[in-house]
Chains A and B, each alone.
Chain A
Amino acid sequence: MLKFIGKRLLMMIPVLLGVIILVFTIMFYTPGDPARIMLGAGASEEAVQQLREEKGLNRPYFVQLGDYIKNIVLHGDFGESFQTGEPVLNEILERFPTTLKLASLSVLVSLIVGLSMGILSATHQYSWIDKFATAFALLGVSMPSFWAGLMATILFSSILGWLPASGSYGWKYWILPPLVLGLHSAASIMRMTRSSLLEVIRQDYIRTARAKGQSERKVIVVHALRNALIPVVTVVGMQFGVLLGGSILIESVFALPGLGRLIIGAIGKRDRMVVQGGVLFLALSFSFVNLLVDILYAYIDPRIMSQYKALNKKKKKVSKNV
């Protein structure tokens, strides 16, 4: 298994390199001259030219790209902010915990709500619970999270006055954002759990379990659920990407000092390096979650575990033959 993880990590490298190149290229061709931005509109043309020289901004695209990659790979250096002159990594690391907290809490919310509603509606197919959960899921999937955030603010802050509307100064500020952000994913997870479980319940091995005299609750929990989980895990992995994207909006709605707001702020100020670094960081976390999902598959399904192991063996044989 460790070998598989190692191999999988190696496979991530070209993809992440590609992401760096892609994001760098997009931002490189963004209109606006970084040197001019740093010095402000009033600065003289000579001063701007000198700064360009100093920062290496007038070098060709490939040289700058090579430099950027080299600095990241060798020194973990994501460059400096044009705006503040601070290392981008510092700014990112300062904001990242907030985003991570928001995303993890939202995943937690969506898992708890999505799984339990999915299980309930599959085991009570066509009942009112099922109908309610299905309706909830359809609404949840359709509701833009930032609008849900605004509506929740109106209801809980402005009308009821129970919770603060924005900021991050204590646990009360961390109730609405994850709920609102997790809602959409909860709906997707619920839908997948329901359909996957309904599919599994019809399988022969469920009948075998019932024929053993197992209680219905245990048939679901012990036999059906684990088999139904694989497509659900896939959805959770994909939803993490949606959550990361959505966190940008939710951080904006609730004024949370996370990576998303850093990126949006930097876009407004044309601070290329910060945007690049932030996007890379989010893409990197998404890739790690996908790796986690792949590993999780193996622990849920022994067939996938043997596939992974077979993969390693095959490679070994080939290398021996060579």
Chain B
Amino acid sequence: MANKHFLEIKDLSIHYKTDSGLVKAVNNLSLNLDKGESLGLVGETGAGKTTTALGIMNLIPDPPGIIASGEIFLEGENILMLNRQEMRKLRGNKISMVFQDPMTSLNPVMSVGKQIAESIQIHEKLSKVEAEKRAVDVLEMVGIPGERFNEYPHQFSGGMRQRVVIAIALACKPDLLIADEPTTALDVTIQAQVLDLISNLKREQNTSMILITHDLGVVAEVCEKVAIMYAGELVEYGTLDDIYNHTKHPYSIGLFASIPNIYSEEKRLTLIPGLMPDPTDLPEGCSFCSRCNRAVEQCKVHNPALVETDPGHFVRCIHYEEGGAL
């Protein structure tokens, strides 16, 4: 099989075994990403975005989580087949992750400098002194004075901590950066700074990125490709232009409609009625059909396949399926 893409995810399914049943967090997800490209992974809370990211890192908490099926190819190699040690060599080195909450994702009893240097020392054959010297550079790269090397996380503000988290992720110049809602926990003014920092560094290092967010505005600024997730499934996937200007899936349309628009004079925001289905008890048919304004009778029993409507633009909706009800 020829894998022309830098990252290729095929039919990934991730489940959690819990007391209240099997949670199907991610179902048959397929994606690909080229070198230097950025993909925005969009969806509401609980759609399976973070689980997908942890799946790529092979950091699904086990138990209760298991990767039920699928393959993840990085530069043609299926990384799900790697043993633990080989996977460790990738983590933090080729694939890095920036986590959502900077307040909790740094070790409170270790100086920030050491936390950065640790990452360097794991992957590069450097002495402790050299690694720490490199860590100072990385610290300054994310805009923190090197003198603060020996300070502890509690001495930093939220925005500064997120810079440290980014520094840890980028310390070894990864090929793929997964940023899981990197700005959600931050003040609005800081959000833009951190986002700029990520996209600049990414551009400089020619890193591919998966940006997880529920903020479509952020995606438009940073990403070339967009994937929209709903209840563990990809519902629409394509280039920025495909998704933003030629939106097809009813859920995506609903998402865009719920963004306030300064040009239109609507008094109320449009909402998508209802809630996401219970992931332990997904419906037999399309998981969005109970909230969809275009649902037809068949949606309840038939879960449509992801269909390529235009080159590179995929939609999972009965209305776009061949012979569908359009």
Query: Residues of A with Cβ closer than 8 Å to B?
Result: 203-205, 207-215, 222-223, 226-227, 300-303, 306
For A225, give the chain B residue with the smallest CB separation.
B109
Q: A204-B105, A205-B104 are in contact. List 20 more A-B contacts (CB 8 A).
A: A204-B99, A204-B104, A205-B106, A207-B59, A207-B99, A207-B105, A208-B106, A209-B118, A210-B91, A211-B91, A211-B92, A213-B90, A214-B92, A214-B118, A223-B107, A227-B108, A227-B109, A301-B108, A303-B152, A306-B152
Residue numbers in B under 8 Å from A214 (CB-CB): 88, 92, 118, 122
Q: How far is the CA of A214 from the CA of B57 in the complex (A)?
A: 13
Evaluate contact between A208 and B168: CB separation under 8 angstroms. yes
Query: What chain A residues lie within 8 Å of B92 (beta carbons)?
Result: 211-214
Q: List 13 A-B contacts (CB under 8 A).
A: A205-B105, A207-B59, A207-B99, A211-B57, A211-B59, A212-B122, A213-B89, A213-B93, A213-B123, A214-B118, A302-B111, A303-B109, A306-B155
Q: A203 — nearest CB in chain B belongs to which residue?
A: B104
B165 adjacent to chain A (CB < 8 Å)? yes
Taking CB atoms, residues of chain A closer than 8 Å to B195 are none
Q: Are A211 and B101 touching (Cβ within 8 A)?
A: no
Check A306 against B107 for contact (C-beta < 8 Å): no
When C-beta atoms are compared, the residue in chain A nearest to B106 turns out to be A205
In the bound assembly, the distance between CA atoms of A227 and B153 in angstroms comes to: 14
Q: A208-B107, A301-B109, A303-B108 are in contact. Are A215 and B88 (CB under 8 A)?
A: yes
B97 within 8 A of A: yes
Is the CB–CB distance between A303 and B154 below 8 Å?
Answer: yes
Choose from B91, B106, B109 the contact partner of A213 (Cβ within 8 Å): B91
Q: B134 to chain A: closest CB distance in Å?
A: 14
Dominant SS among interface residues on chain A: helix
Closest 10 interchain pairs by CB? A213-B91, A212-B92, A213-B92, A204-B104, A302-B152, A204-B105, A205-B107, A212-B119, A213-B88, A208-B105
Could you say which of A209, A211, A215 contacts B107, with CB atoms under 8 Å apart? A209
Q: Roughly how many angstroms separate A52 CA and B216 CA in the complex, as a whole number?
A: 92
Q: How far is the CB of A181 from chain B (nearest CB, A)?
A: 31
Residue ranges of B at the interface with A (Cβ–Cβ < 8 Å): 57, 59, 88-93, 96-97, 99, 101, 104-111, 115, 118-119, 122-123, 152, 154-155, 165, 168-169
Contact B155 A208 (CB under 8 A): no
Chain B residues with CB under 8 Å of A205's CB are: 104-108
In the complex, what distance in Å separates the CA atom of A39 from the CA atom of B119? Answer: 77
Expressed in whole angstroms, the Cα–Cα distance for A226 and B109 within the complex equals: 7
A215, A227, A302, A306: most-surrounded residue (chain B CB, <10 A): A302
Cα(A86)–Cα(B311), bound, Å:
101
Please indicate the chain B residues that have their CB under 8 angstroms from the CB of A302 in the complex: 108-109, 111, 152, 154
B96 CB to closest chain A CB (Å) equals 7
Looking at the assembled complex, report how far the CB atom of B104 sits from the nearest CB atom of chain A, in whole angstroms.
Answer: 4
Task: With both chains docked as a complex, state the minimum distance between the C-beta of A3 and any C-beta of chain B, in angstroms.
Answer: 20
Q: Report the separation of the CA atoms of residues A213 and B118 in the bound assembly, to the nearest whole angstrom.
A: 10
B197 to chain A, nearest CB (A): 18
Question: Which residue of B is nearest A216, CB measured?
Answer: B84
A306 to B119: give the CA distance in the assembly, Å: 26
Q: Report the bound CA distance from A301 to B154 in whole Å.
A: 11
Bound complex: CA of A318 vs CA of B238, how far in Å?
A: 63
A212 touches B118 (CB 8 A): yes
A243 to B111, CA, bound (A): 36
The interface residues of chain B lying within 8 Å CB-to-CB of A209 are: 107, 118
| CB closest residue in chain B, given A212 | B92
In the complex, what residues of A have CB within 8 A of residue B168's CB? 208, 212
Q: CA–CA, A210 to B96, complex, Å? A: 11
Chain A contacts of B107 at CB under 8 A?
205, 208-209, 223, 227
Contacting residues, chain B, for A227 (C-beta < 8 A): 107-109
